[in-house]
Amino acid sequence: MFLSDSQIDCVFVKMSSSLQDKLKCFSVSVPAVPDGQYEVFVGSGYLRFLRAALQEQFAPRSPFVITDASLVKAGHWDAFRGGDDLSVFVIDPPGEVSKNMQTISAILEAMEGCLLGRDSLVIGLGGGTVGDMAGFAAAVFKRGVPVVHIPTTTVSQADSSIGGKTGVDSSQSKNAFGAFWQPAAVYMDTATLQTLDDVQYRAGLAESVKHAAIADEGFFAWLEEHTEPLLKRRTDALEHLACENCRIKASVVMEDPTEKNRRRILNYGHTIGHAVEALSGYTLLHGQAVAIGMTAAGWIEKEMGLAADDRLERIETLLKKLGLPTRIPPLYSPEQILSLLKLDKKALGRRPRFVLLEKLGKVLCQDGQWAVEVPENLIEQVLCRLTVQRS
């Protein structure tokens, strides 16, 4: 839901009134968590005002910023700090390659070295990898301190900054270690998306396609109709995109904050996607892997007789228009992927569970479960179909 202008004003006391009027705000309530309500703010061009607003909102907590080298290079770190000295940990190299327990240990040691206590505030300034590690560090430092997310990429603004999932990768699988730790607030400045390179930008749009596919056929149609303004990164399109993603993600998280059942629908395309991503050594971007995973899920639906309509064709067409892959690279065999699927977090008895669509905008639910078992021979058949043959 949207908050009133007066509620927004209370947070952004340091901002000009003209900018405050342009901000939209969602409230996310997590019943299972004490004081589990937080706000998600969406706007454009307010990052440079945010540090002062956070200082006002979270005083007297001591801030500790976690960001990465790409954000520093893009100028977002300097814009946020405004010339002030702040305690910061810069993840370098940026990206999934650093998303591991070694980096988490280094972050926690840096926080300890800054003499921070339970009165600290972790601020994650960056994409999904930064947010995952900032949330995890906040969850375990001194048994838990608040975290604020400032997502700066398409994937983090669409998905990972909302909902409290944190985690890092093991040597074998993605997000193997982590915790649920809900943020104290989330601030999305869509202007930060202008500095993303084209591959990163397009990859993150896969999460928006996923949200539309699982929850809102109308939003899916909007994506089909607005591909051009999205690829041109028009401010109005980016803000609408962020708001629709927030609406869908927040509604699912509020119902099932710790993924006991229905929240699993947010993993559409992620079962095979995570396996392919891990096999690539994370050279394949998360969104690219999810695009492949959604295509695979669509073919599984066809083979199971669940897809008599044209939804797979529509999903594939949209992904291709966004410049996203729909086939598995020839470097990875179906056998390798099947082996990794047994490590998937949704697997039971080493049998993976898949989120599948009943129709566009609605997930299949069988016997009260939102992730269902699929025969291994059918999975292998689909993997063989989608794997690009070596020339």
Residue 10 lies in a domain: no
Residue 11 pLDDT level (bands cut at 50, 70, 90) = very low
- The answer as to whether 124 is a domain residue is yes
Q: Which of 99-103, 206-210, 304-308, 345-349 is predicted least confidently? A: 345-349
> Does residue 381 fall inside a structural domain?
yes
Give the residue numbers marked as catalytic: 143, 165, 207, 249, 259, 263, 267, 270, 274, 286
**8-state DSSP, 331:** T
- Cβ 187 vs Cβ 296: under 8 Å: no
Burial zone of 295 (CB within 10 Å; 0-12 exposed, 13-18 middle, 19+ buried): buried
142 and 265 share a domain?
no
Instruction: Give the pLDDT score at 390.
Output: 54
Task: Specify whether 155 is located in the same domain as 280.
Answer: no
One-character DSSP codes across 4-65: PHHHHHHH-TTS-HHHHTT-EEEEEE-TTSTT-EEEEEEESS-HHHHHHHHHHHHTTPEEEE
The answer, yes or no, to whether residue 189 has pLDDT greater than 60, is yes
Structural domain contains residue 226: yes
| Distance from C-alpha of 340 to C-alpha of 346, rounded to nearest angstrom | 12
Mean pLDDT across 93-113: 96
Q: Answer whether residue 30 is part of any domain.
A: no
Question: 269 near 287, Cβ under 8 Å?
Answer: no
Q: What is the pLDDT of residues 323-333, one digit of tens each?
A: 999 999 988 89
| CATH number of the domain encompassing residue 44 | 3.40.50.1970
User: Are 183 and 243 in the same domain?
Assistant: no
241 and 353 inside one domain: yes
Q: Which of 130, 162, 195 is the last residue of a domain?
A: 195
In terms of domains, do 146 and 272 share one?
no
Segments forming the whole domain that contains residue 94 = 40-195
% of the chain beyond a pLDDT of 70: 90
What band does 307 get if pLDDT is binned at 50, 70 and 90? confident
Do 184 and 213 share a domain, yes or no? no
Final residue of a structural domain among 165, 195, 225 = 195
Residue 14 lies in a domain: no
Which segment of 5-19, 310-324, 335-349 scores lowest on mean pLDDT?
5-19
pLDDT score at 377: 93
Which residue, 195, 212, 235, sits at the end of a domain?
195
How many domains is the chain built from? 2
The answer on 350 and 228 residing in a single domain is yes
Residues 218 and 326 in one domain: yes
| Residue 247 confidence class, pLDDT cut points 50, 70, 90 | very high
**Total residues found in the chain within this entry:** 391
pLDDT tier for residue 293 given thresholds of 50, 70 and 90? very high
The whole-number pLDDT of residue 33 equals 64
Choose the most confident range, by mean pLDDT, from 16-25, 274-283, 284-293.
Answer: 284-293
* Mean model confidence pLDDT for the chain: 89
User: CATH no. for residue 308?
Assistant: 1.20.1090.10
Going by pLDDT thresholds of 50, 70 and 90, the confidence category of residue 257 is: confident
In this structure, are 319 and 207 located in the same domain?
A: yes
Spatial distance between the Cα atoms of 69 and 77, rounded to a whole number of angstroms: 9
Same domain as 171, residue 157: yes
Q: Are 298 and 346 members of one domain? A: yes
Whether 26 is in a domain gets the answer no
Per-residue pLDDT averaged across 96-118, rounded? Answer: 97
Domain match, 206 and 300 both: yes
Q: What is the pTM of this model?
A: 0.89
Residue 11 lies in a domain: no
Q: What is the pLDDT of residues 324-380, one digit of tens each?
A: 999 999 888 999 999 888 776 665 556 788 999 999 999 999 989 999 999 999 999
